[in-house]
A and B are shown apart, each in its own frame.
Chain A
Amino acid sequence: MASVTKERVLFVIFGVPMVTCLLVFFWIVFVLSTGIGTLRWDLLTTSVLQGGIFEMIIGTVYLLLGAAGIAGPVGVLAAVYLVEYAPRGKFTRIIDQAINNLAGVPSIVIGLFGYTFFCRQLGLGISLAAGWLTLTLMMLPIVIRGTEEAIKLVPASFKEAALALGTTKWKATSSMTISSAAPGIITSIMLGVARVAGETAAILFTSCVLVTRGLPKSPFEPVMALAYNLFVKIVALGESPDEVFGIALVLFFIVAFFATAAISLRIHYRRRQPWLR
């Protein structure tokens, strides 16, 4: 009988978080239903100057693709170096800890750093490029940690067999370790993108303006972004939250798109990697 009681207690303990998840689910449904009411689909392709949000969507996508384009390669190479090449010692441990710390820095602080360093010091001004670099700082820890985990999952025997055939260390690493870890690496980049997709503070004073005339023509021009406009519309312009729910919804779909893409890629590749099972 005692074990039955124990089962029931455990059921409740494990059930509570489940209920919390359900609440979050209902909250998402609430945002969706409120947003859909205010969202007119033609606004998605209408310029901001005519009251649409086209430049915000494209600006957000530009920011994300650029940041992924920088943080992806840099993060992957950093992770490969840390796992495969870095000597185990004090220096490596300091770098390791620095990466952990970077993940914990509040985005507003990263934004402030981006403004003083990229915008002022490097003279990039309020621009797409400054936004890319600032978002890169936020993505890097996620990409590096995710890639490291993916690389560590690859059986060492692949690399050993390649080395025994007379390949160089880099060839063994790139042809075996990195290509086998590719699905995990792609997933971690996608997660990094999802992490910064809704980021406001980091682009607040590095790359965004409220209105632009058309899309930026070079990386050195400022850009519009959904999250930033959402923030400004409520805080500075005092628009009622109801009206900006539409923007929130579009942002939600962009984040959801990247997250879904990441998950389906992982499922797709896992099927092709029997050694992970």
Chain B
Amino acid sequence: MAEVDIRKLNTWFKDNHVLKDLSLTIKENAVTAVMGPSGCGKTTLIRAINRMNEIISGSRTTGEVYINGINIYDENTNVYELRRKVGMVFQRPNPFPKSVFENVAFGPKIHKMANGKEIDKIVERSLKEAALWEEIKDRLNDSAFSLSGGQQQRLCIARALAVEPEVVLMDEPCSALDPTATTKIEALIREIGEKYTVIIVTHNLQQAARVSDFTAFLYVGKLVEYGDTKSVFENPKSELTEKYITGEFG
């Protein structure tokens, strides 16, 4: 439930200038897809929204990102609190080497959001939100690694939702999954998008068209086009976007 306002964002990794003067405003409670060819800075862009680029040595960022009007790059920002509010789902399912229950309970425990019975409720709520509860409610104590790839990814989504984020970042969440699992996750993304601000990086144009309300097209670190998904796909303003959508490059 938060608007993400990016202003003049620049990111470097050592001498590599990855994001160049990027500005865009991402609408709340909607799904925004970020697409573009490999190496255009999609992942770097979403990792700038929870300041995860900082853990890579040699990275440098200038500019501002406002979430609910607060600049997350302000020196007074608590980065741990920020990352609780801005959840993230990674390209490959990466559950913790723990039980299903402990995976989801990890975040709420770290942030001391609840204890005892309340944790159980949070776990149930999160797994339901991730459309996983019915499938694994009897397997909460099993290792997360015993789940299928698609289930693991939904578990990672549940884990991110458990700490009650406002923004959910997804970095090509279906790229390591089979078509059936992808379909389920896409339906889930649509559903989550009604309650949370979802920003999803994708390589897959059809996926962007299917799941997103808005689409941003990035090319070599610059924002080329941004608008509601339908008009970006049907009447792209930029020639570059049109070429990318029609498959002339990418």
Contact = CB atoms under 8 A, between A and B. Distances in A.
Chains A and B are bound partners: yes
Interface magnitude class on chain B: 20 to 34
Given A163-B52, A165-B106, A157 B163 contact: no
Interface stretch (B15-23, B76-84, B177-185): B76-84
B143 interface: yes
Interface string B196-236: 00000000000000000000000000000000000000000
Given A160-B55, A161-B96, 9 more contacts: A157-B92, A158-B94, A162-B96, A164-B90, A165-B83, A166-B81, A166-B82, A166-B84, A166-B110
B90 A167 contact: no
A268 interface: no
A219 B67 CA distance: 59
B143 A274 contact: yes
Contact of A166 (B90, B92, B107): B107
Given A165-B159, A166-B81, A166-B83, A160 B107 contact: no
Nearest to B156: A161
Contacts of B107: 165-166
B90 A160 contact: yes
Interface in A44-77: none
Contacts of B84: 165-166
A156 to B, nearest CB: 9
B111 interface: yes
Given A158-B96, A165-B84, A171 B90 contact: no
Contact of B83 (A157, A163, A176): A163
Contact of B163 (A165, A168, A273): A165
B160 interface: yes
B80 A275 contact: no
14 contacts: A160-B90, A161-B88, A161-B156, A162-B106, A163-B83, A164-B52, A164-B87, A165-B83, A165-B87, A165-B159, A165-B160, A165-B163, A180-B97, A275-B145
Nearest to B95: A161
Contacts of A160: 52, 55, 90, 94
Interface residues of A, number: 21
A88 B92 CA distance: 28
B50 A164 contact: yes
B164 to A, nearest CB: 11
Contacts of B83: 163-166
A123 interface: no
A37 interface: no
Given A160-B55, A274-B145, A167 B94 contact: no
A241 interface: no
**6 A-B pairs with the lowest CB-CB distances in the bound complex, closest first:** A166-B84, A166-B83, A157-B94, A164-B88, A165-B107, A166-B80
Of B52, B84, B97, most buried by chain A (CB within 10 Å of CB) is B97
Contacts of B81: 166
A106 interface: no
A158 B110 contact: no
Contacts of B156: 161
A162 B110 CA distance: 10
Contacts of A167: 80, 110
Contacts of B57: 88
Contact of B90 (A161, A175, A180, A273): A161
Nearest to A87: B57
A105 to B, nearest CB: 33
A164 B165 CA distance: 11
Contacts of A168: 80
Contacts of B88: 161, 164
Contacts of A163: 52, 55, 83
Contacts of A214: none
